[in-house]
Chain A
């Protein structure tokens, strides 16, 4: 039981971080960013390059991942999403654009970083072992703590800073925010950059545990969408709860159902379908959007 709880907290924290950036972008711009997983992968590769290849301290490499993805996100919003949103009222235009960006980033990742799985040296050696009832490597504990700190910092930023208030206003009602003097274009770009930065941050954090490879992007996006759907699209607290719920479902399923083969995700998907049939807006979402 202790192991299931620990795995649940650890998986939940990392999943919540992955979902946060995606839901932020959706809340601000009504854009389903299918390229979120690819941004996560780039974040991992940037940390791999700086920390794993060039020997830069891990924290600095992590900062480089954040900065790189923030710049990439800002550029994507400024030159791709903003013109498309202005020029087309159809939501599928931005969806197609996001899918196109995902394919493009996949190709760029292959060209720049190659096809191989990459990994970095452990940031902390040793394993916490409580009588073989709870086993957790110290680096996973550290990453889990860093993920929780990052989530709390992000909530603090959204709640208590001018930028956060502007972003929340934008998410609640774009027109009203504009009438109140919020520079919508500027804060859309900041919000997208922040969402991309979160993807880069979690990619950089998790490369120390999971490594990174070209093919992780699509699967990461799918998991992130699941969490957002569970929690409620566009709701920050919903993304966090979605991540925690998925993390615990996975930890419990893998621990208790292993003798039946790989049915954990089958049950998770069935549960998700039933849940969405009953509550299509997700746990924390509003029925009107």
Chain B
């Protein structure tokens, strides 16, 4: 009898809690934001850091009462789709977003996926924020894609110039995975280095995406004795192994990449051998991170158990979408209004100390404002953490 009473009480409590939760959710209108990207396989780290950044920020917004746009308060719902790094799947993902009436999507993560979804996005009135670099996605007549990060052809020259001036670098070697993104980034890097007057001593060496031991791959490059070794488009999974193999083969020059990396992964995979490794990061270094960035990292860590430094750049896309919609609420259903707002939009950057702004850029690279103004933060890895080497802006 007593057990039955306890069970009844528990059931009632559960029902009331569920009702309360439903009521709480139902208080605000739902605003769905999509994510189409790779969350499985060898490149999962890229997409998962995207998805989790969005989910962590959305949960934070919802927990603190929602996001007010034009007098209406919204709860943010992230609708995710794993494209498995397959362009066909990316198209299916974008079609799913269209079916759900979603107008703003973050992703895809790679070049071919971003190119493949363009017709679906343009036909269905979807603005999407890829992490892919082909200029054709952002140059007119294309108008629905907004580059969600700094491209390698923007960060590369800045890094090479710094290396030449500060480290006396004269010769450079490139290595890339045999995939469209890394190969196009390598080609862009070779072009930029040559234009700056560096001597490219090796640019042909490539490796299979699933390579796990890079000693045989790197051996021919080491014979060219470059001052700088560029890991073009390297994934966070491969970076520590490449660094470790290069150092073990006796390479003493500088190693750099134009992709974002994770300090914990470098520490585990390469240890002290990764000291001095230069990469592109976001606003998480102590001198740059605002209290809101620190809070974001904490919430992300609480939610998923571990932070991913790649999210330093990936925290921005959702914020840009919401802030731009706040600037012109008609953008919620009308992406043309959103596009018009992009030209003049400006808001404080909540993730960086100082007077940094959220605004759209890209006039120099694309002839129209189709890039988010993520700070170009170039980091150097040292003893388990990133230190800011220099900060620049893309115009």
Contact = CB atoms under 8 A, between A and B. Distances in A.
Interface of A: 3, 7, 11, 14, 52, 106, 110, 114-122, 127, 129, 132, 135-137, 140, 206, 209-211, 213-216, 218-220, 222-223, 250-251, 254-255, 258-262, 265
Q: Which of A11, A119, A122, A216 has most B Cβ within 10 Å?
A: A119
A254 B208 CA distance: 11
Interface string B228-271: 00000000111011000000111000000000001011001111
25 contacts: A110-B40, A110-B44, A114-B306, A115-B45, A115-B48, A115-B49, A116-B306, A117-B45, A117-B240, A117-B269, A119-B268, A122-B271, A127-B250, A137-B248, A209-B212, A215-B42, A215-B43, A216-B42, A254-B217, A254-B219, A255-B220, A258-B217, A260-B204, A261-B178, A262-B206
Given A117-B45, A254-B219, A265-B208, 20 more contacts: A7-B215, A14-B213, A110-B40, A115-B44, A115-B45, A117-B237, A119-B240, A132-B250, A135-B219, A140-B215, A209-B212, A215-B237, A216-B210, A219-B42, A219-B210, A251-B216, A254-B216, A255-B216, A255-B219, A255-B220
B222 to A, nearest CB: 8
Interface in B290-313: 305-306, 308
Nearest to B304: A114
A11 B269 contact: no
B41 interface: yes
A114 B238 CA distance: 16
Contact of A119 (B48, B216, B270, B305): B270
B237 A262 contact: no
A129 B251 CA distance: 13
A242 B280 CA distance: 41
Given A127-B250, A258-B220, A262-B178, A11 B213 contact: yes
Contacts of A213: 42, 45, 237
Contacts of B48: 115
B207 interface: yes
Interface string B192-206: 000000000000111
B40 A261 contact: no
B44 A258 contact: no
Nearest to B270: A119
Nearest to B264: A116
Contact of A52 (B45, B213, B217, B268): B268
B45 A116 contact: yes
B265 A116 contact: yes
B42 to A, nearest CB: 3
A21 B301 CA distance: 38
A210 B213 contact: yes
A115 B210 CA distance: 15
B117 to A, nearest CB: 22
B121 to A, nearest CB: 26
Contact of B206 (A121, A222, A261): A261
Nearest to A258: B220
Interface residues of B, number: 42
A218 B43 CA distance: 13
Determine the main DSSP class of A at the interface with B: helix
A209 B213 contact: yes
Contacts of B308: 115-116
A152 to B, nearest CB: 22
A260 B220 CA distance: 12
Interface string B119-131: 0000000000000
Contact of A216 (B40, B206, B212): B212
A135 B250 contact: yes
B205 A258 contact: yes
B262 to A, nearest CB: 6
A218 to B, nearest CB: 7
Given A137-B248, A255-B216, A119 B269 contact: yes
Contact of A116 (B43, B207, B241, B262): B262
A262 B208 contact: yes
A132 B250 CA distance: 9
B276 to A, nearest CB: 18
Interface string B149-178: 000000000000000000000000000001
A254 B204 CA distance: 12
Nearest to B39: A115
Contacts of A117: 45, 236-238, 240, 265, 268-269
Interface string B16-55: 0000000000000000000000011111110011000000
Contacts of A254: 216-217, 219-220
A132 B269 CA distance: 25
B285 to A, nearest CB: 20
Contact of A118 (B205, B217, B268): B268
Contacts of A223: 210
Given A215-B41, A258-B205, A3 B240 contact: no
Contacts of A262: 178, 206-208
Contacts of A258: 204-205, 217, 220
A262 B220 CA distance: 13
Contacts of A3: 219
A253 B270 CA distance: 26
A215 to B, nearest CB: 3
A90 B164 CA distance: 65
